[in-house]
């Protein structure tokens, strides 16, 4: 869990609103159902945020000092006329650049100063590996984490709870790159008598056709270690959050009522306690989904995964303003969209929200 995620996490979608709002007629609803009004309002807010990000994003990186062209061409025999031409591109009036950018932030005419190629091309090359890696890890982590959290929370204080809480706390406090390197050394290189079963890095092997079954299996084989690393780190968080919110529900009267009806313990848990306890975890899962795009730079580095994480690091050198703005815009879109989905989903899960 990176710092950025933590910080952003606190500003995520609204948690369960305190006092349940009184039912009232929305002025502008014009016959729309409360649900639709809610969805419209949230979507509008998301669009607003996006526009804000779009603008800030452009000006923010132009505040960075530096002479990117000089940095990139240091040690290379580039004729002065060519240097002047490269600089001219960056020296275009800011307003003009801004308009080009507003028209289409990912236009093929916006070039990376560092790579002298369209920014969009660079980004699209890297985005799929990241989505594959982080997406898989988040799906796995949320399923396993929620399951562990429910088990542990429901039987609080029992041995499963003690063990799982201990393990998840340990995993949660572990730096992901460190865990990754340990896994790499044990299962990639081979230690303690184990053979090096997994590749040291990369996403596929040379000479294997990725469209064939062998290619898919090859990619899956390469994914095992990085996905395991990320899953272990993420699932700890989900398990802990799920456990604590379930524990909060445990003493609620409605559970006593359910039990009084004669429901089996398991059904009380599944039908009554879990749905209520799931809300904070859903928030967390979707927030993290938003961050899939930005990837996990440290894990990508440890396992030489060709994702966006490293590209954003490379873009900082110089700085490569055009590349930076495209990448950060993409990251922002990911987070804003995931937030929106979380908000909308919330309304579905918890009727109190949309009323």
* 185 touching other proteins, by CB under 8 A: yes
Q: Which of 105, 188, 226, 290 binds other proteins (CB under 8 A)?
A: 188
Spatial separation of the C-alpha atoms in residues 347 and 35, rounded to whole Å: 8
* 72 touching other proteins, by CB under 8 A: yes
Spatial separation of the C-alpha atoms in residues 179 and 227, rounded to whole Å: 12
The phi, psi pair for 263, rounded to 5°, reads: -70, 150
Stretch that binds other proteins, among 138-146, 181-189, 281-289, 326-334 (CB under 8 A): 181-189
* 98 touching other proteins, by CB under 8 A: no
* 126 touching other proteins, by CB under 8 A: yes
* 187 touching other proteins, by CB under 8 A: yes
Tokens of 242: 């799920």
* 266 touching other proteins, by CB under 8 A: yes
Spatial separation of the C-alpha atoms in residues 128 and 292, rounded to whole Å: 10
* 65 touching other proteins, by CB under 8 A: yes
Q: Which of 151, 286, 318, 321 binds other proteins (CB under 8 A)?
A: 318
The DSSP line for 243-278 is HHHHHHHTT-HHHHHHHHTT--HHHIIIIIIHHHHH
Stretch that binds other proteins, among 167-175, 244-252, 259-267, 280-288 (CB under 8 A): 259-267
Residue closer to other proteins, measured from CB, 86 or 335: 86
Q: How far is the CB of 266 from other proteins (least distance, A)?
A: 6
Tokens of 322: 């055009």
* 140 touching other proteins, by CB under 8 A: no
Subset of residues 190 to 229 that bind other proteins, contact rule: CB under 8 A: 190, 195-208, 210, 212-214, 217-218, 221, 224
**Burial level of 101, CB count in 10 A (0-12/13-18/19+)?**
buried
The phi, psi pair for 118, rounded to 5°, reads: -55, 135
Spatial separation of the C-alpha atoms in residues 230 and 237, rounded to whole Å: 11
* 14 touching other proteins, by CB under 8 A: no
């Amino acid at each position: 869990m990176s710092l950025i995620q933590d910080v952003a996490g606190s500003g995520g979608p609204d948690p369960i609103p305190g006092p349940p709002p009184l039912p009232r007629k929305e002025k502008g609803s014009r016959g729309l159902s409360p649900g639709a009004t809610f969805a419209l309002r949230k979507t509008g807010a998301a669009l607003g945020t996006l526009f804000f990000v779009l603008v800030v994003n452009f000006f923010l990186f132009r505040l960075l000092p530096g002479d990117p062209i000089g940095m990139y061409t240091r040690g290379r025999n580039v004729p002065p006329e060519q240097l002047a031409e490269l600089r001219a591109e960056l020296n275009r009036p800011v307003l003009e650049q801004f308009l080009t950018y507003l028209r289409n932030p990912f236009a093929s005419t916006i070039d990376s100063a560092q790579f002298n190629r369209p920014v969009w091309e660079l980004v699209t090359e890297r985005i799929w590996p990241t989505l594959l890696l982080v997406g898989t890890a988040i799906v796995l982590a949320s399923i396993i984490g929620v399951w562990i959290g429910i088990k542990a929370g429901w039987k609080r204080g029992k041995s499963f709870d003690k063990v799982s809480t201990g393990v998840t706390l340990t995993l949660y406090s572990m730096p992901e790159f460190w865990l990754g390197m340990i896994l790499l050394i044990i299962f990639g290189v081979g230690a303690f008598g184990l053979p090096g079963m997994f590749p040291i890095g990369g996403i596929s092997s040379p000479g294997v056709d990725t469209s064939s079954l062998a290619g898919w299996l090859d990619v899956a084989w390469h994914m095992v270690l990085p996905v395991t690393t990320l899953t272990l780190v993420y699932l700890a968080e989900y398990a802990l959050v799920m456990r604590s919110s379930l524990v909060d529900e445990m003493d609620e009267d409605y559970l006593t009522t359910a039990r009084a009806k004669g429901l089996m313990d398991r059904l009380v848990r599944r039908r009554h306690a879990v749905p209520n306890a799931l809300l904070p975890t859903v928030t967390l899962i979707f927030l993290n989904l938003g961050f899939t795009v930005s990837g996990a730079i440290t894990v990508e580095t440890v396992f030489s995964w060709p994702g966006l994480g490293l590209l954003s690091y490379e873009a900082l050198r110089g700085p490569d303003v055009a590349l930076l703005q495209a990448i950060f815009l993409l990251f922002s879109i990911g987070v804003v969209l995931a937030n929106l989905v979380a908000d909308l989903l919330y309304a579905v899960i918890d009727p109190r929200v949309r009323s």
